[in-house]
Amino acid sequence: MNKNFANTGNSFLIAFFLLLVSHFYCPAQGKDVTVTIHLRGVYDSKISLLALSVSKTFKPIVEVPGIKDGETTKITVTSDHLPGEFVLRFDYRDKESSTPYPSEKNLFINAQNLELWVSPKYCNNSDSTHFQVGELENAAFASFSKENSKQKDKLALLQNFLLNYDDTQSAFYQQGINEYEQRRQSYNQWLAAREQQDKALFVSNLYDFQYVPETSWNGTETDRIESLIKHYFDGMDFKDPLLVKTAELNKWMDGYVNLYGRQSTTVALRDSLFPIAGRAAIEKAKRGHPLIYGWMVDYFYKGYETNGITAGMKILKPYLNDTNCLTSKRQEIARRLKGMETLVPGTKAPDISLKDSDGNFFELNTFETSAKYILLLFWSADCSHCVKMVDQLYPWHQQTETRQKIAVVAISLDETDIEVKVWDKKIKGLSGWKHMRGSDGIRSKVAADYFVLATPFMVLIDEKTREIIDTPNTLEELMNAMQKK
């Protein structure tokens, strides 16, 4: 069986599956954005821009080393990451002999080019770090956060009173409930007005997370928790796909799950309540955008898997099989199918940086060979289709004339200990090829860079220009491509 994301031996099925879900995919805006950074106050710094990944963690997309005090650097943020929430990280040194020290600043990027003057040591202090005049997204969020804090402080005082007052049957307590409800409604109205005011900005998508749901103050603490759970999703628009572009969604969902956690006095009770929480949340998200639906399934899948909640995993099965549910796996397949369209003749082959089977560092861009062509072969020794391809390719490559024309770089996507042992054994009979392995298999960087969906997968490259000539599917197609060039 060949390795792929859909666990099927037929790559046509993957393409057909994507035709079903691509209609729902949320496209990025079509314009790259430039972030200009003026560094000051330190000897030097490496500057990294981290974007929110499909796995809900921030991962570096750009790194610029050795920017010195007083220097300026420009970072291009490609459209596929926009709009979104980012982390600007500085690994700075106060002096040349210092050990690098980290600092981070969260920022939002949409359609506007940004210019930022920053002192890494005080990067979250407005006196030491500021954007250009007229910057929109981050200025709006800073203004909103300041006013929101004032508004919520008033509610917090009343909430604290209601939680701690000893005579819940008194008229005074009822008066407090009425006052709280008036202020809660007033706050939510202010929130809606502010969202409308900033609706053209990406950051307005974060405002809904501040919505204060209805709470029943009568009854026990358990009654209050159940009331909060019942109304938790009242202010949220799950039809908005941009919610997945912010880390706030994950924090907000943690708050929801924690309400169930407060009711879980035993592990057994936790394992029964958390599946109920998951089903309720997913059913709400299912009525929204497929990206939100998929995000929610991913969220609970990770939680159930981490905590070993078997009952939770079982309730996810119908959602995981739903083609309208754009989980991270389906999104990655969509990205790779779209990316495959860029692997056309004449385009530059992405660089590869891996250790080969001898422990030596290999870089495609600096790989030297006297052959006219380089063949990249993505394969797995545990894949019957791959072994069949290798068994055809290797005898053909052993012919003297062929070896002089083409160099083979075989990149294994074997992952498990058992698979790696099979690979180690197999390559002993494949001398003359460069062997290396993407340690994370189909999820490895090299597989992602070449948009590999299934193995085997071949890319024929011109040795001189390092441009792609063809992506042949068979030995016959490979031989024909070599004859044409």
Mean pLDDT, residues 394-421 taken together: 93
Q: From CA 254, how far away is CA 330, in angstroms rounded?
A: 24
Q: From CA 324, how far away is CA 149, in angstroms rounded?
A: 38
Q: Residues 6 or more apart from 184 whose CB is under 8 A from it?
A: 155, 212, 214
Q: From CA 422, how far away is CA 420, in angstroms rounded?
A: 5
- Of the pLDDT bands very low, low, confident and very high (cuts 50, 70, 90), residue 334 is confident
378: number of Cβ within 10 Å = 24
- For tokens 């955008």, the residue is 289
Mean pLDDT, residues 218-243 taken together: 91
The gap from C-alpha 247 to its chain's centroid, in whole angstroms, comes to 10
Q: From CA 44, how far away is CA 199, in angstroms rounded?
A: 39
How far CA 398 is from CA of 300, 373, 404, 421, in Å, comes to 51, 15, 10, 25
pLDDT (0 to 100) of residue 3: 60
Sign of torsion, CA 437 18 301 107?
positive
Q: What is the DSSP letter of 356?
A: B
For residue range 340-380, list pLDDT tens digits in order. 888 899 999 999 999 999 999 999 999 999 999 999 999 99
Sign of torsion, CA 452 458 463 469?
negative
Q: From CA 446, how far away is CA 448, in angstroms rounded?
A: 5
Q: From CA 80, how far away is CA 248, in angstroms rounded?
A: 20
Is residue 424 within 8 A of residue 392, CB to CB? The reply is no
- Of the pLDDT bands very low, low, confident and very high (cuts 50, 70, 90), residue 87 is very high
82-91, 323-332, 346-355, 421-430: the lowest-pLDDT one: 323-332
Is residue 403 within 8 A of residue 397, CB to CB? The reply is yes
Average pLDDT of the chain, as a whole number: 89
- Of the pLDDT bands very low, low, confident and very high (cuts 50, 70, 90), residue 440 is confident
Asked if pLDDT for residue 296 goes beyond 60, the answer is yes
Cis peptide before 456 (omega within 30 of 0): yes
- Please tell me the chain's helix, strand, coil percentages from 3-state DSSP, rounded to the nearest 5: 45, 20, 35
pLDDT (0 to 100) of residue 83: 95
**Torsion (CA) 153, 154, 156, 157 in degrees, nearest 10:** 120
Q: From CA 86, how far away is CA 88, in angstroms rounded?
A: 7
Q: What is the DSSP letter of 4?
A: B
- Domains of the chain with bracketed CATH: 33-131 (2.60.40.180), 166-328 (no CATH), 337-484 (3.40.30.10)
- Of the pLDDT bands very low, low, confident and very high (cuts 50, 70, 90), residue 25 is very low
pTM of the model: 0.74
- Of the pLDDT bands very low, low, confident and very high (cuts 50, 70, 90), residue 28 is low
pLDDT (0 to 100) of residue 168: 86
For residue range 48-69, list pLDDT tens digits in order. 999 987 667 888 888 999 999 9
Q: What is the DSSP letter of 329?
A: H
Q: From CA 478, how far away is CA 469, in angstroms rounded?
A: 10
